[in-house]
Amino acid sequence: MHHARQHAETRTRERRHRLAHEAARLMAEGGFRDYHQAKLKAAERLGIHDDASLPRNREIEDALREYQRLFVGQSQQQAVRVRRDAALRALEFFAGFSPRLVGSVLDGTADANSPVHLQLYTDDADAVPRFLEEHRIPADARARHLRLDRERSDDFPVWVFSAEELTFDVTVLPHDALRQAPLSGVDERPMKRASLAQLRQLLADEEIVGYELNASR
């Protein structure tokens, strides 16, 4: 009985591993942006339908990083850098809204199709669309459901616009959400986010690492 259980657990782990890597491939190559959708599509493709074999979002994210490192490499790193540079200018532009960079551009998994995700903080619901209109930036209105913490969740306004040949996706949150980031859909922990100063430091650190790597060759 013990041996049979061990065998079943090993098979489940192997299936989770296969599903995580197939979901990561779909996200890298197939344009999937949502972990859940990529996970379900991977399960459909591989013919795996038991819930125990479905990987966690964090497992898929780790597999995505590995896939990008092995198969995409320099072009993916360049896509991240271009978007981080653009995000820096966007954080300066939206300085009056205590802006933060979040998502794949910050965590380094962005690719050539990834939007730049920002969060702006204000208690005036009309402030951001008014600001965009004043600067003649056409934007599409959308909504996003986020959990602010374990007890509070809601739909929040999102504005999507293009600049510098990139897509910017801006979520507007109440000012008190600055104290703690909304919970991530990946692992249910507070999202990683970066202020203007933190992003500047990140880019400076990358410059130093790049210089040191070039100098050692």
Summarize pLDDT for 85-141 with one digit per residue, the tens.
999 999 999 999 999 999 989 988 888 888 999 999 999 989 999 999 999 999 999
In sequence order, what are the beta bridge partners of 146?
A: 154
- Beta-carbon contacts of residue 153 (< 8 Å; ≥ 6 apart): 145, 146, 147
Q: What does the pLDDT look like over 180-199, one tens digit per residue?
A: 899 887 778 899 999 999 99
- The residue type found at 89 is R
Q: Residue 28 belongs to what H/E stretch?
A: helix 2-29
What is the signed CA dihedral for 30, 182, 102, 127, rounded to 10 degrees?
110
Q: Could you list the beta-strand ranges (E) of 34-186.
A: 100-102, 116-121, 140-147, 153-163, 166-173
Least confident of 29-38, 50-59, 96-105, 191-200: 29-38
What's the half-sphere exposure (Cβ side, CA atoms, 13 Å) at 165? 3
State the sign of the Cα–Cα–Cα–Cα dihedral 171, 177, 179, 184.
Answer: negative
Tokens representing 182? 């909304």
Q: What pLDDT does 170 receive?
A: 98
Does the predicted model carry a pTM greater than 0.85? no
Return contacts of 211-216, CB within 8 angstroms, 24+ apart: none
Q: Dihedral of CA 209/105/30/186: which sign?
A: positive
Cα 133 from Cα 127, distance rounded (Å): 10
How would DSSP label each residue in 163-193? ETTEEEEEEEE-GGGGSSPPBPTTTSSBPPE
Instruction: Provide the pLDDT for residue 65.
Output: 75
Q: How far is CA 100 from the centre of its chain?
A: 13
User: Phi-psi bin for 167: left (phi > 0), alpha (psi -120 to 50), beta?
Assistant: beta
Most confident of the ranges 8-22, 52-66, 72-86, 137-151: 137-151
